């Protein structure tokens, strides 16, 4: 029988015994036996998944089981297993935070809430929050976090402000169109609150830079609009141990949750992969750019996301961990679903298989479907016309878009191309266009895959590029 | 109530002063009476094993912990708690302190302000995992024998 040495603080759970004899083949088995025999001891040894607690060290003789085989470390009959509580602590990062007179005046309505107080405001000022995506969700999120006094706000976005953003991205005004989003966001936020620090990353978050960027922050707020980035942000947060405040929107629906949140009692909450183990088939769930979104919806959902970020930072209230909030603007119905940790989660399950970032485009199948289609530029199209070449021109936008402006093409909306496949020429080249080139590429892929067309060309940049070239006065 | 012997108190404060601006740490030993009063009669100063910012964090190596348990065993004392310092910061446990805290132990925190000893307070986890303060009665002056 092996001997287990019980540390002083846990002896009150073993009737003051400092040494116990246990019949067990491995360290894990020994702990299970102890937990079964002394139920009050259990929560100090094992977490809710039955894993060895993080603030516990185990030594077989002089050797840390971390350097051996963890719970599977064999326990010979004459072995001594020492349970060693981790002794650690220190000063909170927020404790030395002070405020100027202006800041105290500014944050007064926070400070006078009894549950929030000066301590909550100190925590906000000491906090570093990374907001990924400064679009529809990012706009209210950034405005409220900056206004609330989050001391350091990082913003990741590679995009530039487009006129079609202004319907929902309230961070930007007309004068910002064409500017990099991170620059326009910085200007707006610094004007809103000069007492905070804004850090910008004018880059696309990817597997190469994600860990380095996220590492410097305490909380991540994911406001991105695509699955590869969502899985990337989730995995990076889990690997780095950062809470990930998640939200997403589509047309009239929104979702909010808090992932990878460690409760003060030590319990780790679920993450995105517990909710969605696998991504949807590529193309099934369109982005806002493809499917559209009610402009006010990201305002509602992004504000809720900001609320959860503030709760996670300050510890005020119960964050939305282990729960998914769902809002349908059409019926004005809200629901909250339970999210539980899955044993087969590849990051935090029983047998983790993901220990570093992977290729998320490939994981989400985006790469496979996005094979290139043949393209033609506006200049080439104009040259074809000048040369009098025979070709067919098809517009796959919706009828109301066609009515607003068209370049004399045949109208076959994207949703109807398959049933109208016979209207596409098999011999002459066919130039297909839409607004910017995304839908026409889809139409071409559909026709090529289902009907074997090999004479289709996508107009690069769509009607926008055409008008820019031919009638710049109409393009804006 | 947690009573310090003058000797233990002095050595703890000396460690806090000398280690400033880093955090110091060590073990406290003694006996506990039937009605829960603790008398600290011995101390073991250990290195702050934290890698990185020792001004804001402390950590005690598992080997030092095992040595402390043996030390108590050999002398017939009880390992009653841990002390550490909070440089330029009040003697109130932080979230880091609470997360790593063990039941039963007294966590004594020494506030050191610009190298001078500030308040000394002691905290213990209750059954809900929250810290409760335990009173430290005035420590009698250390007796100094004439040379």
**pLDDT for res A380:** 93
- Quote the crossing angle between the two packed helices A462-470 and A378-387, to the nearest 10°: 70
**Counting runs of H as helices and runs of E as strands, what totals does chain A give?**
19, 19
Residue in A67, A37, A65 with CA at minimum distance from that of residue A51: A65
**Cβ contact (<8 Å) for B57 and A265?**
no
**pLDDT for res A263:** 84
Q: What is the pLDDT of residues A68-77, one digit of tens each?
A: 888 889 999 8
B79 Cβ under 8 Å from any chain A Cβ: yes
Minimum CA–CA partner of B108 in chain A = A89
Contacts of B52 (CB under 8 A, 6+ apart): none
Q: pLDDT-based confidence at A269, cuts 50/70/90?
A: very high
Of B87, B90, B97, the CB nearest to A89: B97
ipTM score: 0.89
Minimum CA–CA partner of A82 in chain B = B66
B78 Cβ under 8 Å from any chain A Cβ: yes
**pLDDT for res A113:** 94
Is A307 catalytic? The answer is no
Q: What percent of chain A has pLDDT over 90?
A: 71
Minimum CA–CA partner of A7 in chain B = B69
A167: helix, coil or strand?
coil
**pLDDT for res A55:** 80
Residue A285 has pLDDT above 80, yes or no: no
Please return the burial class of B24, using the count of CB atoms within 10 Å of its CB with bins 0-12, 13-18 and 19+. Answer: buried
A386 Cβ under 8 Å from any chain B Cβ: no
**pLDDT for res A245:** 98
**Cβ contact (<8 Å) for B94 and A95?**
yes
The answer to whether residue B63 is domain-embedded is yes
**pLDDT for res A475:** 52
CATH number at residue B117: 3.40.140.10
Question: Between residues 49 and 108 of chain A, which touch chain B (CB distance below 8 Å)?
Answer: 55, 57, 59, 64, 82, 84-93, 95-96
**pLDDT for res A69:** 85
The answer to whether residue B143 is domain-embedded is no
Contacts of A470 (CB under 8 A, 6+ apart): A378, A382, A407
* Tokens representing residue A132 in the block: 């990924």
Listed as own residue / partner, the contacts of B41-46 with beta carbons closer than 8 Å and 24 or more positions apart are: B41/B5, B41/B8, B41/B77, B42/B8, B42/B71, B42/B75, B42/B77, B43/B8, B43/B11, B43/B12, B43/B83, B44/B68, B44/B71, B45/B11, B45/B15
Residue A361 has pLDDT above 80, yes or no: yes
pTM (two decimals)? 0.62
Q: pLDDT-based confidence at A434, cuts 50/70/90?
A: very high
Q: What is the pLDDT of residues A287-321, one digit of tens each?
A: 666 778 899 999 999 999 999 999 999 999 999 99
**Cβ contact (<8 Å) for A90 and B103?**
no
The answer to whether residue B142 is domain-embedded is no
Instruction: Check A237, A288, A307, A364 and give the catalytic one.
Output: A288
Q: pLDDT-based confidence at B110, cuts 50/70/90?
A: very high
Q: Identify whether the C-beta of residue A131 lies closer than 8 Å to the C-beta of residue A302.
A: no
A11 Cβ under 8 Å from any chain B Cβ: yes
Q: What is the DSSP string of A358-401?
A: --HHHHTTHHHH-----EE-HHHHHHHHHHT---EEEE-S-HHH
Q: How many domains, in total, are found in chain B?
A: 1
Of A87, A91, A93, the CB nearest to B86: A91
Q: What is the pLDDT of residues A109-128, one digit of tens each?
A: 999 999 999 999 999 999 99
Alpha helices (H) along A241-271? none
Q: What is the pLDDT of residues B123-137, one digit of tens each?
A: 999 887 789 999 999
Residue A324 has pLDDT above 80, yes or no: yes
Q: What is the pLDDT of residues B25-82, one digit of tens each?
A: 999 999 999 988 999 999 999 999 988 788 889 999 999 999 999 999 999 999 999 9
Is A364 catalytic? The answer is no
Residue A369 has pLDDT above 70, yes or no: no
**Cβ contact (<8 Å) for A10 and B103?**
yes
Question: Mind telling me how many Å the CA of B88 is from chain A's nearest CA?
Answer: 8
B62 Cβ under 8 Å from any chain A Cβ: yes
Range of B129's domain?
2-134
B130 Cβ under 8 Å from any chain A Cβ: no
**pLDDT for res A331:** 95
Pairs across A and B, CB distance < 8 A:
97
**pLDDT for res A476:** 46
- Look at A338 and B54; give whichever has higher pLDDT: A338
Enumerate the residues of chain A whose CB falls inside 8 A of the CB of residue B94. Answer: 89-92, 95
**For all residues of chain A together, what is the average pLDDT?**
91
Question: Mind telling me how many Å the CA of A171 is from chain B's nearest CA?
Answer: 35
Q: pLDDT-based confidence at A30, cuts 50/70/90?
A: very high
Q: What is the pLDDT of residues A180-238, one digit of tens each?
A: 999 999 999 999 999 999 999 999 999 999 999 999 999 999 999 889 999 999 999 99
Minimum CA–CA partner of A81 in chain B = B66
A261 Cβ under 8 Å from any chain B Cβ: no
Q: What percent of chain A has pLDDT over 70?
A: 96
Torsion angle in degrees (nearest 10) through CA of A140, A142, A143, A145: 110
């Amino acid at each position: 029988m092996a001997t287990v040495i019980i540390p002083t603080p846990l002896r009150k759970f073993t009737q003051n015994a400092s040494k116990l004899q246990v019949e067990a083949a491995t360290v894990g088995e020994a702990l299970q036996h102890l937990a079964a025999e002394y139920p009050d001891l259990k929560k100090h040894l094992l977490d809710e998944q039955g894993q060895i607690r993080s603030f516990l060290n185990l030594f077989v003789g002089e050797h840390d089981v971390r350097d051996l085989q963890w719970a599977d470390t064999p326990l010979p009959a004459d072995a001594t297993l020492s349970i060693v509580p981790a002794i650690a602590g220190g000063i909170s990062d927020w404790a030395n935070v002070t405020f100027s007179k202006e800041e105290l005046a500014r944050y007064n309505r926070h400070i006078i809430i009894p549950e929030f107080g000066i301590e909550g405001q100190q925590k906000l000022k000491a906090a570093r929050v990374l907001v990924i995506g400064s679009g529809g969700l990012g706009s209210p999120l950034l405005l409220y976090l900056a206004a609330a006094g989050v001391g350091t706000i990082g913003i990741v976005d590679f995009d530039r402000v487009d006129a079609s953003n202004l319907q929902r991205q309230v961070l930007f005004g007309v004068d910002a169109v064409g500017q990099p989003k991170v620059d326009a966001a910085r200007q707006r936020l610094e004007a809103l609150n000069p007492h905070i620090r804004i850090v910008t990353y004018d880059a696309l978050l990817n597997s190469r830079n994600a860990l380095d960027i996220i590492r410097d922050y305490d909380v991540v707020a994911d406001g991105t609009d695509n699955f590869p980035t969502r899985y990337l942000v989730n995995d990076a947060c889990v690997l780095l141990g950062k809470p990930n405040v998640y939200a997403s929107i589509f047309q009239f629906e929104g979702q909010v949750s808090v992932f990878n949140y460690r409760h003060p009692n030590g319990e780790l909450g679920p993450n995105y992969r517990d909710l969605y183990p696998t991504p949807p088939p590529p193309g099934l769930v369109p982005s806002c750019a493809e499917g559209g979104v009610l402009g006010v919806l990201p305002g509602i959902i992004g504000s809720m996301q900001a609320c959860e970020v503030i709760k996670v930072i300050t510890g005020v209230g119960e964050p939305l961990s282990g729960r998914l909030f769902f809002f349908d603007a059409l019926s004005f119905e809200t629901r909250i679903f339970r999210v539980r940790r899955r044993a087969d989660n590849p990051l935090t399950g029983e047998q983790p298989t993901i220990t570093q970032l992977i290729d998320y485009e490939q994981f989400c199948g985006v790469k496979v479907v996005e094979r290139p289609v043949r393209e033609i530029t506006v200049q080439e199209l104009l040259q074809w016309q000048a040369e009098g070449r025979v070709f067919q021109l098809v517009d796959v936008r919706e009828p109301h878009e066609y009515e607003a402006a068209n370049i004399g093409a045949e109208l076959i909306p994207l949703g109807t191309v398959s049933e109208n496949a016979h209207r596409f020429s098999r011999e002459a080249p066919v130039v297909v266009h839409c607004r910017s080139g995304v839908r026409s590429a889809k139409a071409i892929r559909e026709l090529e895959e289902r009907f074997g067309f090999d004479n289709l060309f996508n107009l690069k940049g769509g009607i926008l590029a055409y008008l820019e070239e031919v009638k710049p006065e109409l393009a804006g | 109530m947690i009573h310090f012997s003058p000797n233990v108190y002095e050595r703890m404060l000396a460690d806090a002063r000398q280690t400033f601006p880093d955090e110091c740490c060590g073990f406290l030993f003694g006996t506990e009476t039937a009605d829960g009063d603790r008398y600290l009669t011995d101390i073991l100063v250990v290195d702050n094993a934290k890698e990185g910012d020792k001004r804001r964090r402390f950590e005690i190596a598992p080997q030092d912990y095992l040595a402390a348990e043996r030390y108590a065993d050999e002398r017939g004392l009880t390992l009653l708690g841990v002390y550490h310092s909070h440089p330029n910061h009040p003697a109130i446990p932080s979230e880091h302190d609470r997360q790593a805290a063990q039941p039963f132990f007294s966590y004594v925190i020494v506030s050191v302000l610009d190298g001078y000893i500030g308040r000394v307070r002691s905290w213990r986890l209750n059954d809900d995992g929250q810290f409760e303060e335990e009173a430290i009665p005035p420590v009698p002056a250390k007796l100094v024998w004439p040379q």
